[in-house]
Amino acid sequence: MLELCPSKTVIFGCIDNANAEIEDSQAIAQRLLAAAEHHDPEKLQAAPDCGLVLLSQATARAKLSALFRGTQIARDRLADPRGRAHGHHHD
């Protein structure tokens, strides 16, 4: 599907708003890296699947924190042609 819109910026849903389980930042990074194989990573924006209004504030914050960390991991790996992070410590 991503190949069908190469010139468009795609908001890519990476966290599930339907449950309170906090996603693993490494798993989020893997989803983003997989998407980057099919679409220009500069035109991918990581986001929740939908709004987080139905979750508690603490859960929503934890999910957004995991999204941020996963995005950072994916950016680091995309920036390093060997696929390793640049000395940043991620969980």
Distance (Å, rounded) from C-alpha 47 to C-alpha 26? 15
Residue 40: which of 86, 5, 83, 91 has the closest Cα?
5
Q: Is the pLDDT of residue 81 over 70?
A: no
Q: Please give the distance of CA 57 from its chain centroid, rounded to a whole number.
A: 20
User: Could you read off the pLDDT of 31-80 as tens digits, one per residue?
Assistant: 999 999 999 999 999 999 988 999 999 999 999 999 999 999 999 999 98
